[in-house]
Structures are given as structure tokens and as C-alpha cells.
Amino acid sequence: MEEMERRQKNFIEEAVEADLASGLTKKVHTRFPPEPNGYLHIGHTKALCIDFGIAEKYGGLCNLRFDDTNPAKEDVEYVDAIMEDIRWLGFDWEDRLFYGSDYSEKIYEYAVLCIKKGIAYVDDLTPDEIREHRGTLIQPGKESPWRNRSVEENLGLFEKMREGVFEPGEKILRAKIDMASPNINMRDPAMFRIKKDHHHRLGHTWCIYPMYDFAHPLQDAVEGVTHSLCSIEYEDHRPLYNWVLEQCEIKDPPRQFEFSRLNINHTVMSKRKLRELVEKDYVHGWDDPRLPTLCGLRRRGFPAAAIRDFVDRIGVSKTNSVVDWGLLEHCVRENLNRTAMRVMTVTDPVRLVIDNYPEGLVEEFSLENNPELPEAGSRKVPFSRELWIEREDFMVSPPPKYFRLKPEGEVRLKSAYFVKCTGYESDADGNTTVVHGTYDPASRGGESPDGRKVKGTIHWVSAAHAVDAEVRLYDMLFSVENPEDGDYKANLNPDSLKVLASAKAEPFLKDAKPGDRFQFLRMGYYCVDPRQADDGKTVFNRTVTLKDTWAKISGK
């Protein structure tokens, strides 16, 4: 809220404040109207933050209303998932949970009113014929041969549509507006169509369902919505929104405002494409951490606060643009840098034996939990003769300016001792299996006893105390910025997931719970997966790497 107050007001906030000041609006009332035909993704978050955020800022209300008027694609699974995601982001609809299907009878009555007023008719044209009659942006449409049926005939046919006498596509109820209108949305748009699919709440009670453009303004009005906030593609639909409210004689009608959609590179946010990725096993379910779904981002370890910060930073406007995925990751890093506990985990281990360290001796070293959060305190980490270190932290023939472990080279073991490499063992393929070294007892705590400088510091885990873990390294799902340029599936990144099944974690992580977030020193930020690996190991998903390329490029 404080950040919201500091920045310049956007055009929606200005309109709301003007309505409040003029008395046009007594109490702000918005709504978030998702379709229960898929999972929410990062693109929906902008609408969520605007709908709920505007109500919150001005002491108003925000409803959650499921637009469930297309039964063929809807499922209670999606309803439950959407509610979980909204709560996770920190929003609350309190007792204002509604469904478009709640208003079936009411919307039907409004349609009957339009028929009686002579501004709606039952049409026999097929869907293809309706498209042909609609015209183009430069050519007017053609009126249907059934446009001038009598009110009595239309009422009778509409009643038979409701009774299930006709099949889908055989009849449709249309508004009678203007087939020559420059706005194609006003060329006798559909109001009710026949759908005989099972509805997740109504069963087969209804076989006709209202079109969104007819139902949406009336649902807003019934619920007392004052400001109907929509994405920019509904801007051309606003005249129809207002026409419905006027013709249905709605007093104190809501007003519609449109804002630009949230588009992000390196991903797709079409529900159809996301569903295809899931159903054809390109990914592992709707909560796959590579997907932009909120459940996927949550499983990957993205904090809700970081996502809301991201939405606030991109702002609200009417101009469509593409946001860099790196900005989202930057917001995540900033959040986790402040909140995540630092731990040591070796993701690709090789054994380090300190030959001059006493066998059987175990020491403990104190490591701070988060230097950005002194009140988080410190923890004890065991140290012993045999350790695990990262395979990449030892090289037999290193390049210049390699400051990690190498033959005759010396490094600092984080918060422990200086260690010098005295030798190594390899397998038949030349892969290092064991590194040998000696430690300097006088360097306890990682401090130089004689002033000598050691440039490299590496992390480690005591082999005798290590917790076996699986680490999953997630990267961009698509290898190009605009994956929808061509066949989007051809742009899938083959390296979007790498599984490291032999990771070794410090013993503190033995009690890590699903959803816990950590910074693996020198490696990145990780989150405990809610599901264990097939062999029972705890799984850590990489949330983001430590390197922040967006901040570097943007100068932040």
C-alpha cells in the first residue's frame, strides 16, 4: 500500500477518485471474473492485483465471480485451484463468492425483456452463415432473413430453446442492433446459445447459456459493481456493455474501464496452449515449475509478495507491451535475498579427504542464517575429515584466474579452514573421484593466521552428516523470446530441466518442509518441492540463479 501511495496514480485510480469526489460512486465495488476452464497464470495476476487492489485501496469490495457459462470446458478442479491461487496471493473475497450460473434465471428474464421490446430475435442461421453475414471492417453486414420475426414467435422459439427442443447450432438468440455499425461487436451479437453439455454445478438443468457480452454487464449490475475493470481487448466491446445495461433498464449502471494485458517474453499464456503442453506431456502437470501458472510458480518457489511487487512495478496503462521475464526474476531475487536462509548444499558432489585432519573428530562451526536479517541468528554446521565439495570447484588443469581448488592450490572452506590440495584420484575415464588435501589448524574460522591471502572460498558438506537430496535445475521453458513466432512447441528448450539426483545437503535441511525457501550458497535460490523423489529423497527446485542479468542490463 505504501508503494502504491508513493508512485503516480494510474488512469483507473484517477477515474475512481473522480467518481468518489463527484458522488457518482458511494463505495467502490469491483469483481474478478475468471473462467473455470484452466489454471490461473502470471498474466491473470495483473487483473487480480488491479481488481482486488483498487477495492482495497479505496475501502471498497471485490467479488470473486466464476464465469461458468461454457460447460464443455469447465471443471470444479479449476474452480478449487483458482481459489487457492487467489488466497495464496493474499487476496480475500470474504463472503462474496459468486458464479455466473447463479444468475441463469435472472439473465434469461432480461433476454425475454429484450425480445418483448423488439430488440432481440431467434435466428436460424448456422454459425458459419452468421460469420458470413457479419461483414468486414470495411463492409457492412447483411441482415438475417429471420431478423424481423414477431415478438410472439421469438418468445415461443426462445422458450423451446430452453426446453431443449433444438440442437446446438440450430437456433441462437441475437440482439437486434445495427448490421451496418462500424463496430463489428454491435452487428446483432449473440445473446444466448444452445449448449447441452453437463455443467459442473447445474448438471443438465439448463441447455441454453448466455454469451459473455450479454451476461457480464448484467452480472456486474446485479452484484452492485461500480467499476468493471477489463483487459484491453474488451475496449471495443464497451459500447455493447453499455447498450445491454441501457436496454435492460439498469439503474446506476457500472462503468467499464480497460487496461493493457500482461505479456512476458520466453513464455506462452494462452490457456489452450498451456493445456496442450500439459495434456500432451510436454510438461509434468499444471503445476510444473517451468509453466507460468501460479501453482507452477508457487511450486518453483516464487514468493507471492515478489509477484505482486512485479505487477506493481510494470504499472497500469492502455498500451500493450512485452515485459522481460528477467524483471520478474529480479523481483524474486530481491525478496529472497531479504528472506531466504543461507545454507550449504553440494549439487554435483566429489569427495574431499583432509588427510591430516584427525579421524573421528567432529567440530562445529557457526554460520549466519541471513546477513540481510541479523535477527535470523546463526546455526551450527558439523565439520569432519571427509567432505563433499562441488565437482566444478576442483580442476586438474584449470584456466588462468581459477581461484578454486587445484593441485598445490589453496582455498578457504566457508567459515572453517584453509585447505591445500595435495593430490587426487581418478577413474578409468579420467573423472576425479577423490580430492586429497591438508588443512591449516591455525586458520580455524577461515581467517589467515599469517596474513597470507587466499582468493577462493568454496562451500562444503560433511560427508558423515550429509542429507541425500535431489536438485532440479529449472530454466526457461522456451529457448526464444517470442515462442509463438511459428510453431511454439518447436521452440521448447531441451535444457529447461536438469535433474541432479546425488546432491548432498547440510544436516539442517533434514527437517525442511515443503515450500521452505533457501539460498544455496554460491548456487542460487531453491524451494522444497511438495513431492518427494521416487527414491524418497527431498527434492529442491531451483527458483532462480544468483546472477541477476536483468538488474545488470537495466542498471538497477
- Count Cα atoms within 13 angstroms, Cβ side, for 69: 26
Q: Which of the residues 46, 176, 193, 271 is marked catalytic?
A: 271
Burial of 182 (0-12, 13-18, 19+ CB in 10 A): exposed
45 SS3 class: helix
Any idea which residue has 539442517 for its cell?
A: 508
Cβ–Cβ under 8 Å, residues 134 and 189: no
Indicate the pairing of strand 457-458 with strand 410-413: parallel
Cα torsion through 73, 75, 81, 85, rounded to 10: 50
Catalytic residue among 73, 261, 391, 522: 261
Rounded-to-integer distance, Cα 29 and Cα 98, Å: 14
Whether residue 407 contacts residue 485, with contact meaning beta carbons closer than 8 Å, is answered with no
CB neighbours of 140 closer than 8 A, spacing ≥ 6?
Answer: 179, 180
* SS3 assignment for 289-358: CCCCEHHHHHHHCCCHHHHHHHHHHHCCCCCCCEECHHHHHHHHHHHHHHHCEEECEECCEEEEEECCCC
Give CA–CA dist 536/529, Å, rounded.
12
Q: In terms of Cα–Cα distance, which of 335, 340, 328, 330 is closest to 294?
A: 328
Check residue 486 and report its DSSP letter.
S
Q: 81-99 burial, b if ≥16 CB within 10 A, otherwise e? A: bbbebbebbebebeeeebb
143 in catalytic set = no
Does residue 31 have an active-site annotation?
A: no
Spatial separation of the C-alpha atoms in residues 282 and 267, rounded to whole Å: 14
3-state secondary structure 423-437: EEEECCCCCEEEEEE
Note whether 283 and 290 are within 8 A (CB): yes
545: how many CB neighbours lie within 10 A of its CB? Answer: 15
* Packing angle, helices 42-57 and 11-22, rounded to 10: 30
Active-site residue identified among 9, 17, 35, 537: 35
Q: How far apart are CA 81 and CA 294, in angstroms?
A: 9
Instruction: Please list the alpha-helical segments (H only) found in 94-190.
Output: 104-116, 127-134, 151-163
Asked whether the beta carbons of 140 and 179 are under 8 A apart, the reply is yes
Per the annotation, the verdict on 271 as an active-site residue is: yes
Gap between the Cα atoms of 366 and 364, Å rounded: 7
Return the number of other C-beta atoms located less than 10 Å from residue 129's C-beta.
Answer: 14
Supply 343's cell numbers: 545454507
Do residues 245 and 217 make contact, with C-beta atoms less than 8 angstroms apart? yes
Catalytic residues: 35, 261, 271
